[in-house]
Structure 1
């Protein structure tokens, strides 16, 4: 039997309403290391979004490397770049800490064909039985990857879906080259949004656009697909084999307040269905929401100790003392917000629940609607804004069709035949 440990979406450097979460990260990462040491996997996979920003702070780099070094001491550890990560940083980390340094760490900075770094092979430790774990890897692939000079309109969602399908087919072919069904276990790791998965709404809305989703049937057929990008741990419906999002190890926003976080342990034998063993994570402070009168909060205050708390109070006026009243009742909580419950205003634009923090595109859409734009115009403008926002963390130049057409004309100048 071989064993895989799957974790994902650490988002090191993320804050919660400007509150630091460094203590929470330290607690949950130590828990992940302890699980790895106890379970003794043959391979560890991190399926992307190691960092929350493409330019992580030095302390977050150190936190990541200290943890990954401990994991690599247990088993080879493969880390994919997610949409929040910098491919340049990953290339650097692979150079200074990758396999050439003999440290058992593998940073996958960008998509590579199967025969050029897109497939890894690892031996599994199982007594006399010699098994191999063959892992195809697909870090986050930006739509610009598929833009062609011949296209004057940029990349459409159909171009992206078709391009992703072709990349995954190529990886599947590479996985099967030299495949021994009595010895090999085929695995796939990807940072991708698969249709049917349920986002937690702490992901960027532009990255969970259904038009750009990968169809479940397009995933390579393997024993287990280790997926990253969606923060709620879940199996992916519609996939005829085991495919799971490990999810984020911490509750990233109040929309995840009821999520149970975990890592995934996968036991696999050649030719047999895998056994999935989620291991619950309890490190880090919980996010909690309360709705009700102050008297009810007072009677249940103990359950909110040590949490990040959002309180919606009924029967109270909106005054400066409300936050102080809540803080006095639950002094051990970090109070994110305390506000009276109000009737919803007619024509409210935002459709998020009180437990969710709207992202910038949603807030911008609300602003545009408040300025008198029609729903259609506000939505169209906000979508364009979200696309521009996603470019800030991507290092692939945005397509500029006019510039490319001009460059092509200069490279292939017409000359008159004498």
Structure 2
């Protein structure tokens, strides 16, 4: 059996407010062409179909057109990611039931709201009917909602990972029910952060930190684990565990400028080692970074042809009209940002060593010198320095209590008793 693994499309994502619709159209057509060529038995999208909970209508249409085309090639399962709306997935799933063809289940949207068991086991026959694919699907479980699933785990660090470990163990048990080792191929897909994975720097960084990391050893021992959430394509875990992040199909941020994007084709059969083959994607524009002088940029201009470019120009003195000069040197690049790294205006951070030179750092004198260097008029300097000195010398004053604090103080001073309200107080 063959499976095609793709992930993290993030339809609707822009780059510094620049639309990437043409790139998305091109790369989705490339993914469809790969599927046509490979003819997989199953297609798995492991989450983050869209970039926001409320995607634009054009992005919903773009997704459905591509997914409908993929579903005509092979049954397609789309997992809910942390950027995807469960309610929207419900709607898209309902739309799929309105298809006129007999096999309405070829396109499925799986999600979790976090208050019910999100895991699902799905069965698919291979094209020739000789094998059965059993897929355990675990959509993204939000850390703020998992307490509904695991009230006994509490909120200590590691509780979220412990909850996911239990979920995965339960899914593996269900996956093995009725397992036929001579016919069945077991797969697992999830949208989560595995501790050994290297983020691509365009993820929501608060969701790829240690408190939300699960252990690779907790992943089910199956033929292949199709993972989503991390944008850099990469294997995870040890060699005995065949798990991989398919990654995003486009470079989403300049932190991914050195990454090669791909989709993954999985070839597995009962009793045989799984073969994993990444298929490189070429449709997206390359994101490139440059840090050097204008002369160095001019010498390297050809390598930035057609790329989104973020340029940091190094110089000794400020360069007027820097953006125009950079644009003239790389006319074939799409300039996203131009920054100046000028030695004459480069700020230095004051440290304890500066204060140790003469025993004590005169903050007022340093601030006065700064105002002079920036060209602040003399009268304004005097006024600013006077206000600055007042702020430095003013003692810290306690903030007045808030209305809520005042009410609480009054209540504590006169505690309520039933006798005070006309009743009889009862001792306990």
TM-score range, shorter chain: 0.7 to 0.9
In structure 2, what is the equivalent of residue 291 of structure 1? 291
Tell me how far apart the structure 1 counterparts of residues 71 and 114 of structure 2 sit (CA, whole Å): 23
| 1:81-127 deviations in Å (ceiling 9; x for gaps) | 1000001101111111159863410000217999997001100124x
In structure 2, what is the equivalent of residue 386 of structure 1? none
Q: What SS is found at the alignment partner of 1:341?
A: strand
RMSD of aligned Cα (Å): 2.7
Query: Which stretches of structure 1, 4 residues or more, deviate above 3 A after TM superposition?
Result: 98-103, 111-117, 148-157, 316-320, 342-348
In structure 1, what is the equivalent of residue 127 of structure 2? 125
1:235 maps to 2:235: yes
Distance apart, 1:137 and its partner CA: 0.3
Tell me how far apart the structure 2 counterparts of residues 122 and 153 of structure 1 sit (CA, whole Å): 35
Maintained 8 Å contact 2:153/2:159: no
Distance apart, 1:316 and its partner CA: 5.8
Q: 1:221 to 1:97 in 2, by over 3 A?
A: same
Please list, as runs of the form range in 1=range in 2, the aligned pairs for 1:245-260 lying within 5 A after superposition.
Answer: 245-260=245-260
Maintained 8 Å contact 1:265/1:279: yes
| 1:295-347 deviations in Å (ceiling 9; x for gaps) | 22222212212111011122264445111011111112110112222567555
Maintained 8 Å contact 2:80/2:86: yes
Please list, as runs of the form range in 1=range in 2, the aligned pairs for 1:124-203 lying within 5 A after superposition.
Answer: 124-126=126-128, 130-147=130-147, 155-203=155-203
Maintained 8 Å contact 1:289/1:309: yes
Distance apart, 1:51 and its partner CA: 0.3
In structure 2, what is the equivalent of residue 329 of structure 1? 329
1:264 maps to 2:268: no
Tell me how far apart the structure 2 counterparts of residues 116 and 233 of structure 1 sit (CA, whole Å): 25
Distance apart, 1:212 and its partner CA: 1.6
In structure 2, what is the equivalent of residue 387 of structure 1? none
Please list, as runs of the form range in 1=range in 2, the aligned pairs for 1:94-109 lying within 5 A after superposition.
Answer: 94-98=93-97, 102-103=103-104, 104-109=106-111
Tell me how far apart the structure 2 counterparts of residues 46 and 88 of structure 1 sit (CA, whole Å): 18
Maintained 8 Å contact 1:191/1:228: yes
Q: 1:148 to 1:123 in 2, by over 3 A?
A: closer
Q: What SS is found at the alignment partner of 1:170?
A: helix
**Runs of 5+ consecutive residues of structure 2 not aligned to the other structure:** 351-428
Maintained 8 Å contact 1:190/1:227: yes
Q: 1:347 to 1:220 in 2, by over 3 A?
A: farther
Q: What SS is found at the alignment partner of 1:314?
A: strand
Q: What SS is found at the alignment partner of 1:203?
A: coil
Output the TM-score relative to the length of structure 1.
0.78
- Structure number with greater Rg is 2
Output the TM-score relative to the length of structure 2.
0.76
In structure 1, what is the equivalent of residue 6 of structure 2? 7
Aligned length: 346
Tell me how far apart the structure 2 counterparts of residues 36 and 44 of structure 1 sit (CA, whole Å): 8
Q: What SS is found at the alignment partner of 1:110?
A: coil
| 1:158-178 deviations in Å (ceiling 9; x for gaps) | 321121111101100010000
Maintained 8 Å contact 2:5/2:46: yes
Q: 1:157 to 1:345 in 2, by over 3 A?
A: farther
Tell me how far apart the structure 1 counterparts of residues 175 and 349 of structure 2 sit (CA, whole Å): 53
Distance apart, 1:294 and its partner CA: 1.6
| 1:15-38 deviations in Å (ceiling 9; x for gaps) | 111111111111111110110011
**Runs of 5+ consecutive residues of structure 1 not aligned to the other structure:** 349-418
Q: 1:158 to 1:99 in 2, by over 3 A?
A: farther
Tell me how far apart the structure 2 counterparts of residues 50 and 149 of structure 1 sit (CA, whole Å): 24
Tell me how far apart the structure 2 counterparts of residues 184 and 151 of structure 1 sit (CA, whole Å): 35
Maintained 8 Å contact 2:78/2:109: yes
Maintained 8 Å contact 1:111/1:138: no
Maintained 8 Å contact 1:48/1:79: yes
Q: 1:192 to 1:16 in 2, by over 3 A?
A: same
| 1:257-281 deviations in Å (ceiling 9; x for gaps) | 0000000001001122110110000
Distance apart, 1:292 and its partner CA: 1.8
In structure 1, what is the equivalent of residue 314 of structure 2? 314
In structure 2, what is the equivalent of residue 26 of structure 1? 25
Tell me how far apart the structure 1 counterparts of residues 258 and 119 of structure 2 sit (CA, whole Å): 39
Maintained 8 Å contact 2:81/2:140: yes
Tell me how far apart the structure 1 counterparts of residues 347 and 66 of structure 2 sit (CA, whole Å): 47
More relative contact order in 1 or in 2 (CA 8 Å, sep 6+)?
1
Q: What SS is found at the alignment partner of 1:144?
A: coil
